[in-house]
Structure formats: C-alpha cells, structure tokens
Structure 1
Amino acid sequence: MNRGNKFINDIFIYAVGNLGSKLITFLLVPLYTYFIAPDDFGYYDIALNISFLGIGILSFQLRDGVFRFLLGNEDDRTRKDIISFTCRFLLRATLVAFIIGLFCLFFFEIRFLPWIVALTVVFMFYEIYIQVIRGLGRNVYFVYIGILTSLLTIVFSCLFIINLDCGVLGIFYANILSRFFSMCIIECKLRILKKYFRYNSSDPQINQEMIRYSLPLLPNALCYWLLGSSNRLFINHYLGLESNGIYAVAMKFVSIFETFSLIIYQAWQETSIKQYGSQDKNRFFSSVLYAQMYIFSAFVILLIFVIKWNYVWLVDENFQDSAQYLFPMGISVIFFSLTSFFDMGYQCSKETARNLPGIILSTGLNLLLNYLLVQQWGIWGIVVSSIFTYLFLFLYRIVDSRRFFQVKIPYAGMIPLGGCIVAGIIYYEVISIYFQIVYVWALMIVLWVVMPGYVKSQLKVMAFSKIYRK
C-alpha cells in the first residue's frame, strides 16, 4: 500500500473509531440538557477539564511517547520494555493521584472529589491503553474500543440519569464504567498486558529516551489545556456557572469539528513519522496541508449550518443562546487543526522541546485576551480570544517549522478563507433558512468544482507517488 492510500485508509479507520464516541456525545446532549440543570452541567464540564489536566501531569504525557516508540518497532523484547515501563509509571501515578485526593478531601470542600479522582485515573489508563493499541498496529481494535466505549456510555447514561435519577453524578458513573469495561473486554481479546507487561522488565536507555521525549510535551500539554480549558474558568469566575453551562453546550457541538481534526491528526501522525525521511517530504507535506484546508473548511461550514437549522429541537430552551457562538468557535477549530499539522515536525524529529516557545507565547496571549475581553464582551470575548490565539500560533509555526519541512500553499488556498467569511455574514445577517441552504449548497458546489483543478491534483501526489527513502 503506497503512502497516499495508507494515509486515506488510516483516516477512514480513525474516523470510525472516533466518530462513534463523538456521535454518542452529540446524541447525549439533549439528554444532559433535559435532565441536568445548567449550573450542574457547567460544574461537570469544569471537573472534566481539570481531569484532563491531571492526566497530562500524572502521566508525564507518556501517551504520546508510548505511541511514538512502539510505532514500527517489531522487536518483542523492546515492546515489552516500553509497555512495562509505561505500566509501572501509571501505577505510581495512580498512587500519587489517590494521595493528592486524600489531601484535598481533608482540607478542601470539593463536590464529587472522589469521583473526579476516579475519572482522572480511569481516563489516564484508557488514553494510554488506546495509544498502545495504535502503536502495536492494531488499528482495527482501536475502532472496536471506540465503538464499544460509546455504546456503554449511552447505556450507563440512560441507566444512571433517567432510571436511577442520579443527576450530574450519573455522567461521572457512565464515563468511568464505560471506559473501565471497554479496557477489560479488549484486554480479554488482545492479551496485551499478559504478553508484554513484565514488572521487572526494564531497559534504562529506553526509559530515559521515553522520558526525554515525553517530558517536554508536559508543559506543551499544560499550555494546550490552558488554551482550551481556561476559558471555562474565566467564564465561571466572571459570568457564573450558568454561562459556563451555555458555553459547554456549544462546545459539545464544536467537539464534532475537533473530532474531525483529531481524526486527521491521528492519521497524519502515523503517516508523517514514517514519511519524514522521504526525499520529497516537502512536496508531500504541502499536498496534505493544502487538501486539509479545503476539506476541513467545507466540512465545518456545512455542519455548522446543519446544526443551526436543527438547534431548536436538539437543545433545551435554557441553552438556546449557545447557538450564536457556534460559527466563530468552528473557525477557531479550523486554525487549531492547521496548527496541529505542524506539530509533526517536532514529533518526527523527536525535538519536542522546540515546541515550547510558540505554545507558551500563545498561551500567554490567550490568558491576556481572556482577561481583557471576558469582562467587556462576556462569552464573546472568550470566543474572539480563541480565534486570535490559534491564528497567531498557526502563523508562528509556519515559520518555525521550516527547520523540519517547508510547505508551499498556492494562492488558491485563499478560496476556503473567502468562503468562510461570506458564510459568517450569512450565518448572522440572513434570517431566511432557504437562502442559507441555497448559499451552503452553492459553496459546496464551488469548492467541488475548484477542487479538481487544485486540491485533486495534490491528492494525486498522495495517491500515486512512490515512497522514496533517503
């Protein structure tokens, strides 16, 4: 299979694995908004994002390291050393999490603290377990575990929220149990731990290399957390939990775009690492970025309008105000997706420490803009801050990534940008749904007509080029 077909095939596999879980999340929004009050849902959203922060800190971002070092490694002895080191590290991280939880339990009054700790630990194991599956090349089982987790989540959500009337605690129960049972079921099938985990198996050199690779990604993850999650803290502090609940509902829909971005990122992560040594990498990388600009922009515009047309019945009336934020939040995800493309330069070269200056500057800019704008514009200030932050990071990485690869985008790359600008005007200024439908379909046709002359010529590079190795 050539690199283009492999990349497209990986996109399909990761799409099936990710879309199942996000589709369930999307379908659960009406359930959550109907049975759970906005302030409770806002509190859960904050707790969830704090858990994501805890995962990165406790695991030292080994989720990225274990995938990078397992990918393409066929030696069982090395695989045992990598997985054994990762498991031992996670067990110690779990002990640290429980100690921190006990300390906070005695000195602070935090709602649902034991469940927040449990959520963090289970999510940590789950995230690294699925990266092990990817690193071992068992991508089909990556799809299985995603679908299985999704189905279990909806079953447990209905059980605890509707039948047992557990309220917001039901969301904690559903997410914890679904991931725990998914790991158990897949482990019974693959026997990864039985085959590769040995408590005394250790290679000091591999351990050091994994820490050296993963540790610089920790401040990177912290900064990304601040970029994505500090918004909730600013909203909660200045506007209250109810506003945070409204923002959280909008983010549930925007997470669909983020999932599409994640699908491309995961497929691109695997392809770029393998193709980094090719002689024509600049041409190949440029073709991927160029195609991504077209496809992702079209996907976001189409889906934003589809969601808007159905928002009345998708979301309870207490959360209807969140619809106004969908379009600019979608634009910020486009910039985020393009920014993630350039992450691969740091990962392919294993120079992850070079990633820090850009993300630190962007985080500082985001915090400053959040502080200045949220007090003046409310939630709109947070949304505008995100757009400018990811735009800045995108431009920074275009320049900084030239040491790894150089991409060239023709002027036709401005067409999706123009389509987004016009779409934004119509989204807010045109009341007629019929006119909006006509514009969206007209834009899709224009992009489809233009793509054969520009993007499809680039896709041929991916589909038919031979793999050249140095």
Structure 2
Amino acid sequence: MNDRAAKLAKNTIVYAIGNFGSKLLSFVLIPIYTVCLAPDDFGQIDLYILASSLVIPIFTVQSIDAAYRRMLDAYSTRNFKECISNVLCIYALGWLVFTLGFISLCMMHEIKFALLFYFYIVLSAAFQVAQQITRGLRRNGAYSASGILLTLVQGITNIALIVLFGWGAESLLFAPIVASSCGLALLIKLTKVTDYIHIEAISKKIMLEMLSFSAPLCVHSLCWWCITSLGTYLLAFMTGGTELSGVYAMGNRFSQVLSMINSIFFLAWQESAVEEYKSEDSPSFYGKTYTALLQIETGMIAVFLPVIRLYFWVIGESGYALVMDYVPALLAINLLSASISFFSSIFNVVKKTRTVFYSSIVALAISVSLFFTVIPACGIWGIIIGMTGGYTTLLIWRVRQSSRFIKIVCDYKEIVSSLALLILSLLLYYVTPDYLQLLVLAAAAIAAAVLNRGLVIRLFMILKKGLLGGNNA
C-alpha cells in the first residue's frame, strides 16, 4: 500500500467534507432556481458573481496563495506569525484601495445591489484568506468545519429567502454574505489566528517576496477570468440582454458538478505535490495521479450526461431547456481545465510562477479573438469555442513547459480507453431519445466500472487506509 497515495486520499476526504456540500449546494438548488427565477434575473446576478471572481484576485494580489505556499515550508511559530501577519497586511491595504475605488465607481455610475455586491466581495475574500491560513496551519479539521457551516447557512438562507419570503435573484448575493460571516467567525475561533498576528512581524521584505511569488499568479487569474467569463459579458452586450447569459450560467451550474471534484482534489494535491516533488519516483507518482484523475472524471461525465437528459425530461417545459445542448461541451471544458490545473501545480511547487504568465497571455489573445469573431454568429457556442481554443493552448504550453522540471510518466492505454468512453457517451447523449436515457445511464455506469475496475479497487484500498489513518484536526 502506497503511504503517499493514502495520505493524498485522506486529505482529499477531509477537504471533501468541508467543500463538497458548498460545491454541491449550487447544483442542489437548481430546481429552485429554474422554477422561481427567470433567466434574465439569474443572468444579471451571475454577472455580479463573475465580476467578484475578477475583483478578489486583484485586491488580494493572490497573496493568499503565496502565504499558503510559504506556510508549507514554515518550521516554527515565528515563521507562521510572519506569513499570517504579512498576508493580512496585504489584504488590509488591498481592501482599502478596493473600497475607495468602489465608492468612486458608485459615484459615477448607478450599480444595482451595490451594497450587497460590496459586502459579497469583501467577506468572500476574507473567508478565502482565513481558509488558506487554516490550511497552512495544517488545521484541516477546522477547514472542513467551516465548509460545513458555510453550506448549511447558505443553503437555509437561500431557500428561506426565495421560497418563503419571495426574494428574487438578490438572495444569491445576500446568502453568501451571511454564510461567509459565520464561516469566518468559526475559523477565527477554532484556529485562534489572532495569536499569530503581530505588528512587529510585518516586514516590507517579506511582503515583497510574497508579492513576487503571487503577482504572476494574479496576472494568470485575470487571464483565466477573461477566458472563462469575458464571453458571458460579451454575450449579454452583443445580444442586448441577459436571458442567454442566464441560460449559459445555468449550464455552468450543471458543469460545476465536475469542477467541484477538481477543486477538492487540487486542495489536497497542492500539499502532496510539494512533498513528493523531490522523491526518486516522483515522475511515476505524478503520472499515476494524473491518469487516475482523468479516469475518474471521464467516468463521472459518462454517468452524469444521461442524468441531465432525464432531469429536463422530468421537469418538462422550462425557460432553461436550451441548457441541454451546451452541458456536454461545458463538461468537456472542465476536463481540460483539470488537466491545465494539474500541470500548472508543478510551477507552484518549483516556485516558477512567472512561467505561467506568458502562456496565459497567448491563450487570452486566442480566446478573445474567437469571442469577438464567433459569438455574434453562434451565441453561446461562440463562448464555448473561444474557451476551448484558450484552454487547448494553455494545456499544450503547460505540458511542454512543465517537462523542464519533471517528466510525468502516464499510463496512455488507460487514458485512451477513458477518452473513448467519453466520446461514446457524448454520442449517446445527443442521439438517444429521452425515455431511453435510463438504459444509457446503467450502461455508462457499468462501462465505467469495468474499464476502471483496477482503479476502483486501488481507490477502495487507499481510501480505507486513508480513513483508518486518522485526520488532521
């Protein structure tokens, strides 16, 4: 039994406990959204949420990633105090600049739900900083507890506001504000993070070192945001409304089932990737991990596609019926995203974050060019084509550049068989009638289990050992 794989499995389980609920929540609430919210309103709020994912990396300068990477190498209480004090100082300065900029923007333009939008960004960023600090302190149990609380509070608040009190799409901003506040309070109490905050630990040198690490990541995040989100704004602008944007946003809610698995895995993988980089068999360990990731995700897509068809068949007529046409492509894009994230993690491990800058710029240029060219004629498909072009460029570049640091040894036979299952499931999704999708679901589940039977057995044994091995508190 591989102890490293068991540790990775254990950490994945811990992060899954804290994240799976919050990630799954947006999917579970889809029936409420499709029934109670019009595509136009849903699309409008989704633009706010997308904007927050652009603003937060800017005003934090991705310093939370620098702090976490630095804390992985920390070996004393003094090191932790330096990391935490300096990242919070960077956050405070960023918050001040953002607040002044936001007030100026509101004075020049009327922003609907401006106050909600402001607190949504500030508290979401604060909660993310607290979570990364908690991970850096190896308090994975506290991290998971905050995720569970976030899920419960956000879910209950959302349902109460929409169903009981008749709120509209603004509840999608208000509920996360309440949830982030509760989660932040819990993390402060459990980690006693205030004990690590000391003014004398704040150092200009340390902050510059952290910013040197995080600034390229910030640029990458901006490029990534443009590739994944700019098309949504262009779609709304070019069509003169947010109805199609709402349909596209709902399609992304379905594809988040896959992206939430990605995010949970990579939380655990960051630590294992750093620890195992210098081991003698790291190329094999990295390769087996990447192969297993692709096998799991292609199997999930094959099983999930008929479920989507059955869902829309059951609910009947809906303003979101067009979503069915786009979900398979969005799931495939998430698969590309997972591969990009895996190879990108290598640059964080070796602290060569500037390497990601150039590929991000090139990928951005390709995506934006495709957006402006294809969206006017193809609508949502234009966004998908633009994202695919950018993601494919990123993946090819990251694979080539990462090979300078580590040559990953993959099982290409397993990868090809998994991709063959994915292609077959996509064909069946489009050509099989709705009433036969239950049979497709059963066939896909059996095929995925048979093709990946070796992986299933290994995962079962690793998870068993990971669970028995105990969890970090």
Please report the TM-score for the alignment, with normalisation by the length of structure 2.
0.92
Partners of 2:221 and 2:145 lie apart in 1 by 27
The answer (yes or no) to whether the contact 1:161–1:167 under 8 Å persists in 2 is: yes
Is contact 1:63–1:128 with CA below 8 Å preserved after alignment? yes
Choose 80-89 or 108-117, whichever is displaced more.
Answer: 108-117
Which deviates further from its counterpart, 57-66 or 355-364? 355-364
State the superposition RMSD in angstroms: 2.3
Letter in 2 for 1:155: I
The 5 Å alignment of 1:217-366 reads 217-239=217-239, 240-312=241-313, 317-366=318-367
How far the C-alpha of 1:275 sits from its partner, in A, is: 0.8
Residues 1:127 and 2:128 aligned together? yes
Q: Which residue of 2 aligns with 1:109?
A: 110
Q: Is the 8 A contact 2:134 2:191 kept in 1?
A: no
State the partner residue of 2:417. Answer: 415
Once residues 277 and 439 of structure 2 are traced to their aligned partners in structure 1, the CA distance between those partners, rounded to angstroms, is 43
User: What is the distance in 1 between the residues matched to 2:460 and 2:352?
Assistant: 29
Per the TM alignment, residue 452 of structure 1 is displaced from its structure 2 partner at its CA by 4.6
Distance 1:26 1:303, change over 3 A: same
- Note if contact 1:358-1:396 (Cα within 8 Å) is conserved in structure 2: yes
Change (3 A) 1:125 1:439: same
Distance 1:410 1:201, change over 3 A: closer
CA contact (8 A) 2:251 2:323 kept: yes
3-state secondary structure, aligned to 2:75: coil
Rounded to whole Å, the distance in 2 between the matches of 1:71 and 1:63 is 12
What amino acid is the match of 1:346? F
What is the TM-score of this pair, normalised by structure 1?
A: 0.92
**Kept in 2: contact 1:291–1:455 (CA 8 A):** no
Q: CA deviation at 1:41?
A: 1.2
Equivalent pair of 1:51/1:117 in contact (CA under 8 Å): no
* Distance of 1:148 and 1:455 partners within structure 2: 31
Paired amino acid for 2:38: A
Asked whether the 8 Å contact 2:24–2:260 carries over to 1, the reply is no
AA of the residue aligned to 1:420: L
Mapping of 1:344-423 within 5 angstroms?
344-412=345-413, 413-423=415-425
Identical pairs, percent? 25
What are the Cα deviations for residues 360-394 of structure 1, in whole angstroms up to 9, with x where unaligned?
11111111112111111111221233233322322
Preserved CA contact (<8 Å) 1:282 1:405? yes
Contact 2:30 2:253 (8 Å CA) reproduced: yes
Shift of 1:332: 0.7
Provide the residue aligned with 1:4 in structure 2: 5
* CA displacement at 1:459 relative to structure 2: 10
SS at match of 2:199: coil
Amino acid at match of 2:5: G
Does the 8 Å CA contact 1:11/1:263 hold for their aligned counterparts? yes
> C-alpha distance in 1, partners of 2:277/2:456?
22
Quick one: which amino acid aligns to residue 450 of structure 1? L
Deviation at 1:43, TM superposition (A): 1.0
Instruction: Tell me if structure 1 keeps the 8 A contact 2:67–2:133.
Output: yes
Query: When the two structures are aligned, how many residues end up with a matched partner?
Result: 462
Name the counterpart of 1:35: 36
What residue in structure 2 maps to residue 431 of structure 1? 433
Give the aligned partner of residue 470 of structure 2.
none
For the residue of structure 1 that corresponds to 2:17, the secondary structure is helix
**CA offsets 1:200-251 (integer angstroms, 9 cap, x no match):** 3224443222111111111101011111111211211122200001111111
- 1:200 matched to 2:215? The reply is no
Q: Is this contact kept in 2: 1:284–1:461, CA < 8 A?
A: no
Deviation at 1:417, TM superposition (A): 1.4
Gaps of at least 5 residues in structure 2 are: 466-473
Partner in structure 2 of residue 211 of structure 1: 211
Q: Where do residues 133-172 of structure 1 align in structure 2 (5 Å cutoff)? A: 133-172=134-173
Quote the offset at 1:316 in angstroms.
Answer: 7.3
Where 1:318 maps in the other structure, the secondary structure is coil
